[in-house]
Structure 1
């Protein structure tokens, strides 16, 4: 069992993974190559397994190294968060906040909501990062993030859901696509077309597939994208028609593409979560209120699924 892991070892490992070579990692850390090599060797000896494959100057993580790096990233994020909060306390400032959101909400809704915060409500340090819904739930439950803005469901007894809403998915098309002239795209019109959709089969993708099946639509081919923005880029390149959540095209429009409602209600739900039992900072309360306002003003067909008054009440 590891007994004496230290921060220098952890930082050396993270730097090597980021840089890909001992030489570049040493430059990043302002240490000698031999010092970095020694720290990695000590870390591997302490853990009892190899973290890196060495092939000449290039370094790649082992399978265990990849898994360990996930934990290292989480650890370092927590340390940065702690440092920023400690410095804010020393300056008698509002504490730093950490917000994690799925990509669809991180690129549009969340920045707009932050921009609406009143003078004095925005902390000096704001950490905004994108993550999958599963990673987001882990971060908020572990209290390395103050607020999560996620697609639903997010089922965890360690989380409190403060506000949620849903809106129907849309079709995204190139501006010169014949279907762009339609007020509403009928799913049957996608028969024989290449479909672009987000790939997680356990979340929105399942509802998209079910709706196509019920409409008797068989796409000619399918491109899976891990984000809606990537799907929109594929549409702009002429690769097909996307069926995606409505938040990204409405809040982060991409030149050359348009979005249209479809004749099937394929709901996309999202909401805001914090750690169960943790006091919600004033800045987070204000931000949640603005997220609700921006969502309602931006997304056509939005249906509020509920607001917890003490979390996102009138300001």
Structure 2
């Protein structure tokens, strides 16, 4: 298995045809065809079903694709780093984060890093929580922002943020006139929310179950930003994390607190035992500051709180607080803000 075989495979998967892959790679169509055939012969199974000039990936091709892409990206990073070493250039700071955190928290934090502490370049990739953990464990990311759970031995957890979820409503929705929204008010409404039941979704389901409400989950999505966009389009009301509902100002929607606290928890992690560079430490500090500034009612917990935060009966109103808690967050919990993402 040669590198040019993997490049050909990746290009065909992206382009959907041998001809298109040849254009992407600046190779002839016969050359790409031969490289795919050689790869299939080496693997011992077909990667594509042929139908004239077009090809259809097999099930095995899709399984292989993620691994190939990860390897090619890693090789590209090695090449870029090798050139940077030759030019005596500093490493970029590489960040992996779930989509809502990548959009809402990370850019604000990067902008807040003092000029003298800035890295020459930052690289930000938004991925699923599971892939964020993988990037940090493989040390292809310097910092990860990931929702709980994340009890992996290869991670250094710097802190865990906890903030209440919100409901996002289309402008003009009658519930938008209220300072807060009761779950019971949503009993007859179409609900849009996230789908990963091993993370935030199980807390949302538990909140409805505790109120003995059968929620009409009309649309599930793998990203809370999609849920906010669906609420703006009038598909339903979205129950999402506060990073998506509050920290991002989107026209056409307002965010309101819920009468039942549904905790959203995420942590900031780095590879365990890896010596951190000053720009990484500067960004870690900026991430904590930005999280406090952007998320109403947020509490920053020590890493040791991880398992306790996963307990289903735990509630933010229980009074458990961290030494990282700040007075402004306590004031917000006493007087929840009825804040619109845009008005």
Q: TM-score, structure 1 length as denominator?
A: 0.93
Q: How does 1:176-215 map to 2 (within 5 A)?
A: 176-215=172-211
CA contact (8 A) 2:133 2:150 kept: yes
**Distance (whole Å) between structure 2 residues aligned to residue 121 and residue 56 of structure 1:** 56
Tell which deviates more after alignment, 117-126 or 195-204.
117-126
Residue-by-residue CA offset, 1:211-264 (whole Å, 9 max, x unaligned): 011112223442101111110111111111111110112221211100010011
Q: Which moved more, 1:138-147 or 1:290-299?
A: 138-147
User: What are the equivalent positions in structure 2 for 1:41-52 lying under 5 Å apart?
Assistant: 41-52=37-48
Q: Which runs of 5+ in 2 are unaligned?
A: 305-323, 325-343
Of the three residues 286, 290, 294, the one matched with 1:294 is: 290
What is the Cα deviation at residue 87 of structure 1?
A: 2.2
- Relative to structure 1, is the Cα distance of residues 113 and 15 closer, same or farther in structure 2, using a 3 angstrom cutoff? same
SS of alignment partner, residue 155 of structure 1? coil
Q: CA deviation at 1:53?
A: 1.9
Deviations 1:14-50 (A, max 9, x none): 1111111111110111110111111111111111111
Aligned to 1:26: 22
1:110 aligns to 2:106 (yes or no): yes
1:235 aligns to 2:231 (yes or no): yes
Task: Answer yes or no: is the 8 Å Cα contact 1:81–1:98 preserved in 2.
Answer: no
8 Å CA contact 2:157–2:303 kept in 1: the answer is: no
Secondary structure class of the residue paired with 1:70: helix
Partner of 1:150, secondary structure, is strand
Alignment correspondent of 1:272? 268
Q: Which moved more, 1:84-93 or 1:24-33?
A: 84-93
Residue 120 of structure 1 deviates from its aligned partner by: 4.5
Matched-pair contact (CA < 8 Å) for 1:123–1:283: yes
User: Structure 2 length normalisation: TM-score?
Assistant: 0.85
Q: Unpaired segments of 5 or more residues in structure 1?
A: none
State the partner residue of 2:84.
88
Equivalent residue in structure 2 for 1:37, among 25, 30, 33: 33
| Contact 2:117–2:279, Cα closer than 8 Å, also in 1 | yes
Give the 4+ runs in structure 1 shifted more than 4 A.
none
Aligned match for 1:251, one of 239, 247, 250:
247
Deviation of 1:174 after TM superposition, in Å, equals: 0.8
Alignment-derived partner of residue 16 in structure 1: 12
**When the two structures are aligned, how many residues end up with a matched partner?**
305
